A and B are shown apart, each in its own frame.
Chain A
Amino acid sequence: MSATAMTAAQVARKIMDNQPLFILDVRNGDAFADWKIEGGNIQYLNIPYFDLLDGVEEVIDQLPKDRDILVVCAKEGSSIMVADMLAEEGVETAYLSGGMKAWSEHLEPVKVGDLKDGGELYQFVRIGKGCLSYMAISGGEAAIIDATRMTDVFLNFAQEKGATIKHVFDSHLHADHISGGRHLAEATGATYYLPPADAKGVTFEYEALESGFEAGIGSSKVEALYTPGHTIGSTSFIVDDQYLMTGDILFIDSIGRPDLAGLAEDWVGDLRESLYQRYQALTDQLTVLPAHFMIMDELNEDGSVAKKLGELFKENHGLNIEDEQEFRDMVTKNLPPQPNAYEDIRKTNMGQITPEDEMQREMEIGPNRCAVR
């Protein structure tokens, strides 16, 4: 008996279907505490691989017999070693193919709705890191919002759907992950749009994304709405008067943090105005589609991350703080740690540095940490 591989896609499916899973995570304790595979029906055991080099006998007693066991490490090498050792003792497990790096890169496309005249809207759930990208397709044309750097996924998906990518948008200059927007535009001849206020240090050509701008794809339209606060340029999108992409300003169970570009105190007023005035002026019936989720509870049963704006005004704590000072304190004090390598990620997204692929993977390790709750 030897260990079998389980792909990130298979693990993502299990989690979205809420199937039971036992994860034996053999990374060191700090790495596990910082970031792990999350899910509603997962049990965990964290023992670093280097504590198992003399044998796995002591672990066997701690493993369940009634659910699948997945051995996880950073890149897969150590998990294969441990899974093989367990196999020799007669314990059947799988290891995560490609480790947490593959987990971080996996994108799961989920359909979030129909657009008019047979168009479709898809959300790409980066389940390991909590990033959400969007593709609207109509009449053989596609628009993409907040693409991650795994551009092949978007290119292949558009091709399968027989759509030409026309417009590529970033809601803001991202600090937690490397944008695929510019490369997608280069690969397809599409136009790449960035909010100009976020693009001061950008080294490449882009189209300025101004509030009120409208782009058409097939029978559908994507409108830009300026909603600063997470960054000074942060822009939301409204698709066909039905869907509201909120970027990193408003999430399902939290709101954006204003400090990742270093100016929390300056931008807190903008953030409040975007959340409490600009969004308030929109119809409650819009479906909010954020650029991130932080916890698995934010996923709907079908794996999508979406909720009506009206419901968020009732339920989201960050939209219900009447006192301005209290709001100010919440978003500027006691903030969670910043995302891994966020300064280098911003520089990469501005084109100021061009790290190799392996380095880009390393930079993105860990959760996104773009919210304050």
Chain B
Amino acid sequence: MNVDKVLDAKGLACPMPIVKTRKEMKDMNSGQVLEIQATDKGASADLTAWAKSGGHELLEEQMDGDVLKFWIKKG
């Protein structure tokens, strides 16, 4: 996958993974892909809901050991 930027949100508790994701997304262009790495289990449902409400596309979600990885395409 073509990743334009990687956000390390590992070890951060809710709401920080979303707060940081949102901030990164603001600086990106429509169509670009952000990879997010998080360890907070709540991030999965929240990023999915957030991406949907913001018009972004959650391309993929993976579990790599304890780390959750998400790829979101800016809408």
Binding site for B on A (CB under 8 A): 28-31, 48-51, 53, 73-75, 77-78, 81, 362
Contacts and interface: CB of A to CB of B under 8 A. Distances in A.
Nearest to B18: A50
A281 B16 CA distance: 59
Nearest to B15: A78
Contacts of A28: 45-46, 49-50
Contacts of B5: none
Nearest to A361: B41
Contacts of A51: 53
Contacts of B16: 77
Contacts of B45: 28, 30-31
A90 to B, nearest CB: 22
B13 A77 contact: yes
B11 to A, nearest CB: 13
**A28, A50, A74, A81: which has the most chain B beta carbons within 10 Å?**
A50
Given A48-B46, A75-B42, A77-B13, 6 more contacts: A28-B45, A28-B49, A50-B46, A53-B15, A74-B42, A78-B15
Interface of B: 13-16, 18-19, 22, 41-42, 45-46, 49-50, 53
A74 B50 contact: no
Given A30-B45, A53-B22, A362-B41, A48 B14 contact: no
Contacts of B49: 28-30, 48, 50
10 nearest A-B residue pairs (beta carbon): A28-B49, A78-B15, A50-B50, A77-B14, A50-B18, A77-B13, A74-B42, A49-B15, A78-B14, A81-B15
14 contacts: A28-B49, A28-B50, A29-B49, A30-B49, A49-B15, A49-B18, A50-B22, A50-B46, A50-B53, A53-B18, A73-B14, A75-B13, A75-B14, A81-B15
Contacts of A48: 46, 49-50, 53
A49 B22 CA distance: 12
Nearest to B45: A28
B14 A74 contact: yes
A74 B41 CA distance: 11
A204 B30 CA distance: 57
B16 to A, nearest CB: 7
Contacts of B18: 49-50, 53
A53 B19 contact: yes
Nearest to B16: A77
B56 to A, nearest CB: 12
A78 B40 CA distance: 13
A71 to B, nearest CB: 12
A106 B45 CA distance: 24
B15 A77 contact: yes
A48 B49 CA distance: 9
A281 to B, nearest CB: 48
Contacts of A74: 14, 42
Contacts of A362: 41
Contacts of B46: 28, 48, 50
Contacts of B13: 75, 77
Nearest to A82: B15
Contacts of A50: 15, 18, 22, 46, 49-50, 53
Contacts of B14: 49, 73-75, 77-78
